[in-house]
Amino acid sequence: MGISKKVIVRWMAILFSLFTFIGCGGSGGGSSSGGDGLSYTGRTDPALITEANSHDLALTAYTSGEFAGSLGSFAGLEAESSVNGPGRPLLLHVWLALHDSMAQVDSAAAAGQSSVSAVQTESQTVPGDCPGAPGEARYTITADDVTGVFSGSIQYSAYCVDDTTLNGEAGFTGVLDTDAGEFVSFRFTFDNLTSNSGFGSVTLDGSMEMAVSGETVTISMSLLVDNEGETFRIDDYQIAAEDFITYSVVSFSGRFYHPDEGYITLSTGAPLYINHSDIYPYDGVLLFTGADGSADGPTRIRLTAVSDTTCRVEADTNGDGTYDYDSGEMPWEDL
């Protein structure tokens, strides 16, 4: 199976839309750092889910863009949009630029000189694709042309892809299917990698990786993200997507921390089904778990895809295991 850019764009867009939410309550704090780069010193306790924030949470869990201005401090990780409908999240631009640079490394390495040795090392500079100011990425790679195992580093110098500019250095490792010429897996690690685009700027510290098994693409990440002076933390976030001819099936898991509100844990109650021609899923359930409520159980939100045009938001605001708030069936656009 090839790693389709269409599939990557679709599922990374959905994944990164999940990185913003509204919450309140909680106390305490902590710190986390990625090497010598960013440090997270915000709250490390769960955010309290209430009836008042349940719609905003469900909204920011799946859409962004035009709603960013009304979503408080959590809107910082979203890309603003001048048109109706979901915006394109900032981190999606970063991922696509990183993936593009790896594709160039792959292509360049495949065109390299042959050697009697299975293990080869080479360095090369590749340009971006932005007219006028493409910048460049200089990489060094060591690869085994028998096993397909490779590792190396990339130095980004104003490297521009689709109007997203990267600066800094990333290390990478992975495995290439030498017969098919396709990635089996690859992993980026970075320390203070910066990205700038018309949608905003972020600094990243941590790792992103992708693996392919059969027809399933799994994308995982653990990151610290600095946006306009606020550092957010993303732990063990994972998306598994299986692509079919006319639709895709996806599952999510992970935890997202906001420095002022605490964290929310995401899980999949039932896999989401989305037609390739649609924006919203027509089936599936996402679950969000926050702090314990007055009944001593965790507060929760259940977001159900009723159809590709309607959804339902339910909230357990006191932690007694019963969803005491129910929006009823409503258009996705009215979340």
More confident site: 69 or 226? 226
What does the alpha-carbon distance between residue 301 and residue 320 come to, in Å, rounded to a whole number?
A: 13
What does the alpha-carbon distance between residue 48 and residue 25 come to, in Å, rounded to a whole number?
A: 5
Residue 203: what pLDDT?
Answer: 85
What does the alpha-carbon distance between residue 254 and residue 231 come to, in Å, rounded to a whole number?
A: 18
| Residue 301 forms part of a structural domain | no
CA nearest neighbour of 47 among 255, 207, 282 = 255
**What is the total count of domains within the chain?**
1
Q: What is the pTM of this model?
A: 0.69
Residue 23: what pLDDT?
Answer: 30
| Residue 329 forms part of a structural domain | no
Residue 251 backbone dihedrals phi, psi, to 5 degrees: -130, 145
| Residue 281 forms part of a structural domain | no
Are 135 and 165 in contact by the 8 Å Cβ rule? The answer is: yes
Write out pLDDT tens, residues 91-132. Answer: 555 656 666 666 666 544 544 444 545 778 888 888 888 899
Would you call 332 helix, strand, or coil by DSSP? helix
Percentage with pLDDT > 70 across the chain: 70
Write out pLDDT tens, residues 79-97. Answer: 333 333 333 344 555 656 6
Are 174 and 154 in contact by the 8 Å Cβ rule? The answer is: no
The mean pLDDT of 51-79, rounded to a whole number, is: 44
Residue 106: what pLDDT?
Answer: 52
| Cα-trace Rg, the chain | 21
| Residue 16 forms part of a structural domain | yes
What one-letter code names the amino acid at 291?
A
| Residue 288 forms part of a structural domain | no
Write out pLDDT tens, residues 233-279. Answer: 888 878 787 878 888 888 888 888 878 777 888 899 999 898 878 87
| Residue 318 forms part of a structural domain | no
| Residue 57 forms part of a structural domain | yes
| Residue 311 forms part of a structural domain | no
Show the domain range for 47: 5-267
**Maximum distance among all alpha carbons in the chain?**
69
Does 144 score more than 80 pLDDT? yes
